[in-house]
Amino acid sequence: MYYDKLIFEISTKDRKGYSLPESTIKNYDLPDTLLRPDCPGLPEVSELDVVRHYTNVSFKNFGIEKGFYPLGSCTMKYNPKINQDIANLPGFANLHPYQPLDTVQGSLHVYYETQRMLSEISGLDTFTLNSYAGAHGELVGLMIMKAYHESRGDTKRTKVIVPDSAHGTNPASATVAGLESVEVKSNLDGTVNVNDLKHVLDDTIAGIMLTNPNTLGMFEKDILEIAKLVHQAGGLLYYDGANLNPLLGMVRPGDMGFDIMHINLHKTFSTPHGGGGPGSGPVGVTKALKPFLPKPVVKKEKDGYTLDGATDLTIGQISHFYGNMGVVIKAYTYLLTIGKNNLSDIAKFSTLNANYIKESLKDDYLLPFKGICKHEFVFDGLIDKSTHVTTLDVAKRLLDFDMHPPTVYFPLIVKEAIMIEPPENESKQTIDKFIEVMKQIAKEAKEDPDLVKGAPYNTVVKRLDEALAARKPVVKYKDLLDEA
Ligand SMILES: Cc1ncc(COP(=O)(O)O)c(C=O)c1O
């Protein structure tokens, strides 16, 4: 049986978890239509029952606060508590989006200042904070790209170039934006093949989407030439900012020639990524593309901030109100606490950590792309393939050592991909421990491959039958009970 009791199952009649003072509000006669016929079916439990129940549930999960989380391309870094504390201040947390503007000037100031800081970091003219995630930012950016070409009567430009190492959201966003994606092959080191690129550039190309450093952690060294070629062909450059961490304070996408970009606040600027929590994917653009930004646009006027900055060329409204305010406040706090002069430490330490792990493990794991990487890199499984221990087996075995597995089998161009990303705030001790465990797994794979193939052993749920889980997923509690 791999479930524990639900809070409803430990409910005991008339047990209470609260003691409220006697109500001083008199009873009102309400019409029957407003009254529920029965009591709500809430669990009847004591405070201790509740605390123990949810504490035990939380132990079953793995998070950045429990252990090392080297999730490639996702920047699962620690989110300092002060960021959350500031976002929880009643003045922020209790705001209503329909409040009169003169009562939310402080929040609009935070919005405006965050936009300004992101512009300075990225080298782009201005930002909208309205989009909810990286993928959403991509869609908004591509809608802006499309609207720009259409506004000039250039309606032939219906294709977007996407390298074969790109994240799956890139071609997906292109399709949703009504553009066709055209794939270009990578060089052996994972960077864009400029010759291949030249062949696809013509007057039907709306632009190119690039992640720099790419999903293999390699910096696109030909970026200036790529930018020149794309611009000469009349296209625009879109920067997927998921991997911005190692560039902070070092180089800026705007200076590389990018016209549009998104930043994942929930990766680079410390809101934890994953688990379906709220995210934010601000989109930055050059001055020429500013008129196309989605509305509302926060504008600074003489007497304060307004939301009337949008022009007639706007792509319209792409979110409820103005995006995920809480995530923006956390990013703003993070940026202020780090400080402008220390920003580049993030880039330097995350790059150092990745290269240290890469060099320490390259005699056990196959390194397809040599050379200095940025914040992440990719192994192609174990060097010794004779053991038949796969990347999936290694990932599962890591769980037994209380470490979250890296991203596996992505990017698709590396068959047995293990993509490792140790963020800047991990200590040398933690990183050394990870290296030691990875080496031990490589040794086990040689000496006792079945041990690795059977992992994990110490987790709540053991090795799943992946095919069965995909074909017959148990997604309802009732089905789980029937199974048990
Ligand atoms: C390179 C890259 N681009 C885009 C995305 C999409 O970002 P989001 O998950 O915020 O939609 C990711 C997400 O993990 C990514 O790694």
What are the pLDDT digits (tens) for 211-226? 999 989 999 999 999 9
pLDDT tens-digit readout, 283-318: 999 999 999 999 999 999 999 999 988 999 999 999
What pLDDT was estimated at residue 18?
Answer: 86
What pLDDT was estimated at residue 460?
Answer: 87
**Greatest CA separation for the chain:** 80
Measured CA to CA, the distance from residue 106 to residue 115 in angstroms comes to 14
pTM attached to this predicted model: 0.90
pLDDT tens-digit readout, 160-206: 999 988 889 999 999 999 999 999 988 877 789 999 999 999 999 99
Q: Whose CA is nearest to atom 14 of ligand 1?
A: 74
What pLDDT was estimated at residue 374?
Answer: 96
Least confident of 5-9, 411-415, 427-431, 476-480: 476-480
Going by pLDDT thresholds of 50, 70 and 90, the confidence category of residue 484 is low
Cβ contacts of 9 within 8 Å, gap of 6 or more: none
Tell me the average pLDDT across 46-60: 91
Q: Pocket residues for ligand 1 (CB within 6 Å)?
A: 73-74, 133-135, 167, 169, 211, 215, 240, 242, 264, 279, 281
170 φ/ψ angles, rounded to the nearest 5 degrees: -60, -60
* Confidence check: pLDDT of 81 > 60: yes
Tell me the average pLDDT across 341-370: 97
Which is more confident, 431 or 273?
A: 431
Round the average pLDDT of the chain to a whole number and report it.
Answer: 93
Whose CA is closest to 250, among 356, 354, 350, 121? 121
Q: Please tell me the distance between residue 134's alpha carbon and the centre of ligand 1 in angstroms.
A: 5
What pLDDT was estimated at residue 104?
Answer: 96
What pLDDT was estimated at residue 1?
Answer: 45
The tokens describing 5, both together, are: 């009791």
Q: Please tell me the distance between residue 135's alpha carbon and the centre of ligand 1 in angstroms.
A: 6
CATH architecture, domain 83-341: 3-Layer(aba) Sandwich (3.40)
What pLDDT was estimated at residue 478?
Answer: 80
What pLDDT was estimated at residue 309?
Answer: 86
Cβ contacts of 126 within 8 Å, gap of 6 or more: 115, 119, 284, 285, 287, 290, 293
Kindly give the number of the ligand 1 atom that is closest to the alpha carbon of 240: 3
Measured CA to CA, the distance from residue 91 to residue 336 in angstroms comes to 19
Q: Whose CA is nearest to atom 9 of ligand 1?
A: 134
| Burial of 382 (C-beta count, 10 Å sphere; 0-12/13-18/19+) | buried
Given a contact cutoff of 8 angstroms between Cβ atoms, the answer to whether 206 and 145 are in contact is yes
Given a contact cutoff of 8 angstroms between Cβ atoms, the answer to whether 258 and 235 are in contact is no
Measured CA to CA, the distance from residue 358 to residue 398 in angstroms comes to 17
> Amino acid letter at 35?
L
Q: Please tell me the distance between residue 168's alpha carbon and the centre of ligand 1 in angstroms.
A: 8
Tell me the average pLDDT across 367-374: 92
Percent of the chain with pLDDT over 70: 98
Q: Please tell me the distance between residue 241's alpha carbon and the centre of ligand 1 in angstroms.
A: 8
In the chain, where the domains are located: 83-341
pLDDT tens-digit readout, 92-141: 999 998 999 999 999 999 999 999 999 999 999 999 999 999 999 999 99
CA distances from 46 to 15, 18, 19, 39, 54 (A): 6, 8, 10, 18, 13
- Pocket probe mutation, ligand 1, options 169, 215, 243, 375, max atoms within 8 Å of Cβ: 169
Least confident of 98-102, 272-276, 413-417: 272-276
Kindly give the number of the ligand 1 atom that is closest to the alpha carbon of 133: 10
Going by pLDDT thresholds of 50, 70 and 90, the confidence category of residue 375 is very high
Kindly give the number of the ligand 1 atom that is closest to the alpha carbon of 138: 4
